[in-house]
Amino acid sequence: MDSFELIDLIYIVDACASDRVAGRLISMAKAVEELRVLTGDFVSSDEAAANALSQVALERGCAVLFDEQPGADIVSEP
């Protein structure tokens, strides 16, 4: 969490967590993207952002869904 402000992480976790029957769930793909938009940090790795967000999410009682697809933004040519 060194490169991210705790208040930003808490805000994103609370904004992105959805209530489900079994509790609060947060999608890391969505949360990482929202954190980037909020902070303007497009340099830090997805892994660093997801690690920081997941730590805060777990402390706030959320289940964490790691749904980021490595290379999902790469379009393969036929």
Query: What are the tens digits of pLDDT across the range 24-72?
Result: 899 999 999 999 999 999 999 999 999 999 999 999 999 999 987 655 5
Q: What is the pLDDT of residue 22?
A: 65
- Determine the Cα–Cα distance for residues 29 and 32; give it in Å rounded to an integer: 5
Residue 77 CB coordination number (10 Å): 3
Q: What is the pLDDT of residue 3?
A: 85
pLDDT, tens digit (0-9, with 9 covering 90-100), for 8-24: 999 999 999 988 766 78
Q: What is the pLDDT of residue 67?
A: 87
Q: What is the pLDDT of residue 23?
A: 79
- Determine the Cα–Cα distance for residues 70 and 74; give it in Å rounded to an integer: 9
- Determine the Cα–Cα distance for residues 51 and 41; give it in Å rounded to an integer: 15
* Alpha-carbon dihedral sign for residues 17, 15, 8, 3: positive
11-20 b/e (C-beta count within 10 Å ≥ 16 → b): ebbeebbeee
